[in-house]
Every structure is written in C-alpha cells, then in structure tokens.
Amino acid sequence: MSDSSDDNFQGFSAHEIELASERYRQTLALNGIGDDIEISDVESELSDENNEDPIFLIGLPHLFTLRNNTGSQTVLGIEKDPVDFFQLSLGDNLIQNIIDKTESYANKQIRDHPDQNKSVWSCPTIVEMKAFFGLTFLMGIEVKPDIKSYWSTDCLETPYFATVMTRDRFQQIMRYLPFPDSNNNIPQLGDPNHDCLYKVRYFMNALNEQMRNQYVPKRQVCVDESMILFKGKVNFKQYMSAKPSKWGIKLWALAESDSGYMSFCEIYSGKKDRPVQGLACSVVKSCVEGAGLVDHGYHIYMDNFFTSPALFVDLFHNFNTGACGTVRKNRKGLPKELMIKKPTGVNERGQSQFRQKETIAATIWKDKKLSQSYLLSMTTQ
C-alpha cells in the first residue's frame, strides 16, 4: 500500500493492524490494565461443561432486549408489486385519516371564507387521493416550471396527467391538503408555543409510527442530518454549503446502520429556546425516544456535531444505550493531554493513545494523512 498522501485511504494493512494492537497492549500494561487476569481464568468462569465453544460477550453491560424480532414485521410474497411495499408505510388507514383531516379543513375554510372558496368541493376517495399522491411523486421526476405546465397543451404537454385528474381538481385538493388540528386554539406565530409545522404534524407523527411498527432495527443504529432539496418559501428553509442539495428542509433522522432503514425522522424548524444540554444532545435523545429504542440496549453512532461526554453519560445511565462517534477536541469533559495538536506518543501513522473515565473512553490516533482523529466511545466499567 502506497504511503503517498495523494492516494485515497484504502484501510490499514494486516501488518499495520498487528503493530497497532501490540502498541495498544503495551499501553494497557503501562497503565496497569489487563495484567492481573489471565484469559484462561475468564474461560473457566464463562465456559459450559456441555458446550465446547464458550461465547464471550464483549461490549456494553446493557443487554440487547428486543420488542420483537429484528427486521421487517410484515412479510410480503415475491409476487407483490413495489406499490404494495410502499403502502406498508402509507396504507389505506393513514390515507383515510388524511382525507378526513382534509375534508374537515376544507369545510372550515368554505364556511369561514366563502368568497375565497367558491368552487364546489367534494371529499376525495382513497383511490383519488392515491392518484393525487402518485402525480405529486411524478412531478419530482418530470420537473416543470410550475404546476399548470403539467396540464399544458403546448410544447410542454405531458398527456398522462390529464388522463388521471383534471388540473382544477388537483389544485383544489392541494389547496385543502394541509390538515392541521381543527382546534381553534392553535398557538399563533409569535406565541412561544407556536409550532410552525402544525399543518403537517399529524402526518409526520403517523409516518414515524408506521416506520417504527414496520421494522425493528438491529443493534447498531446511527443518527445524522439529511437535506431535502426545496427552494420554496418556508421560514425554516436551511442552507448547508457542504451538502449536495444546499438549499432545503433539514431532517434529523435515526436509521439502522446495516440497511439504512429510517426508524424516525424530525424536521428541523429553526432555532428555538436552546435546551440545557444544547441542540445536538436534544436531537439524539429525541431520535432515540421517537424510534422506541429506550432501555433496549442499542448502540448508536454519530459524527462530531452530536458527540459529547455529557450526552454519552446521559444515554448510558438514563437510556440504557451505548454510543460511539468522532468528537471535536474542544468539547467539555475531554482529557486535555490528548486533545492537543501534538499529543505525546502519537507521531506516526497507526499510533494511538486513549484515556478512560468510568464508562467513557476517549481515543486519538493518526490516520493516513498524519492528522489527528478523535473518537469517543462507551466501554465496560
């Protein structure tokens, strides 16, 4: 493997891993760790006379307790179409609830503002609402300047749209589709309790419930942010220069590491009163709670935006959840002798140092480009 800094990092060689392991064992010995117990002693304690291959459980002291078998909770046959799998998340019951909310909102608008709602309204059926959603998805593939262009009969004509639904009916459903709670006491803009997502809050909660019920993730999960491309007018639109979609709506999401299946997501609606532990801590705990993973012994991975010693301790003791992630060296609670530009004993590629306090281990190592990388993780006490 080339040592040129211009090459892409392809991973450590077996020899490099063995050298790093040896240095790690030496570091443990220098700190008095691991020299007072023999492997044979551990084997004698955990071995089973009727089992020639004892099992060693390495990791956190939390047991992984499932609410059900991991994986999909609904098994469909190979003869099913993709739309059948899609309807596991957006099924008829949820669509009917959306229709009911839309009907309630439409009647209220017609009653309160008759001059602005003169078109005759009829409640959509499940089939019609599915057609509406299908056309909406298709608009994301066949992009045009505005909605009216999809029903245009000039050079921009797309005949399929007119065969499914008229333009006026599509726009009428879209007009009343925001389905806020019919309660008139919704906090208005300026109120500390105002929720700028109140028009879609019901749908987001229902979608998260469906995602949570349809799939039980394996033990390793991750939390991260995601950007949905959007250039319309909403007051919580975000700009992130490092993302492929720089303008859009930002989501916080928790997903299974193996498959990428999302168990929970939450729209970031902008700055509010900052929580005591900060936004990053609040997001991670909200995702763990929203995905129903509290007290099940999950391991959660994250990047340095979220990672902090305070969060990891909170997750470990109050959520029975382990954590691991890269960390910014200026986070509070990290060992100062490691979080410096040139820590002792970390001069060449593959060298590392660590410090442990109770259930938290902080590690620094040199990567291929000879720059420090910092990792925070949970460990056994």
pLDDT for 50: 43
Q: Residue 364's beta-bridge partner residues?
A: 353, 374
Residues of the chain with pLDDT under 70: 1-12, 24, 27-63, 179-185, 272-276, 368-371, 378-381
Give the pLDDT of residue 314. Answer: 92
Rg (C-alpha) for the chain, rounded Å, is: 27
Given this model, what pLDDT does residue 41 score? Answer: 38
Q: Which of 298, 269, 299, 297 lies closest to 283 in space, CA to CA? A: 269
What are the residue boundaries of the structural domains of the chain, listed by start?
A: 14-56, 87-176
Q: 208, 288 in Cβ contact below 8 A? A: no
Alpha helices in the chain (DSSP H): 14-30, 39-46, 82-86, 92-112, 126-141, 159-164, 167-176, 201-214, 279-290, 309-318
Question: What local confidence, expressed as pLDDT, does residue 329 receive?
Answer: 85
- How far apart CA 170 and CA 152 sit, in angstroms, is 14
In this predicted model, what pLDDT tens digit does every residue of 264-283 receive, in sequence order?
999 988 776 556 678 899 99
Has this prediction a pTM greater than 0.85? Answer: no
Percentage of the residues of the chain whose pLDDT score is greater than 70: 81
Give residue 38's pLDDT.
41
Per-residue pLDDT, 5: 42
Task: Provide the pLDDT for residue 198.
Answer: 82
Per-residue model confidence (pLDDT) at position 220: 93
Is the CB of residue 245 less than 8 Å from the CB of residue 267? no
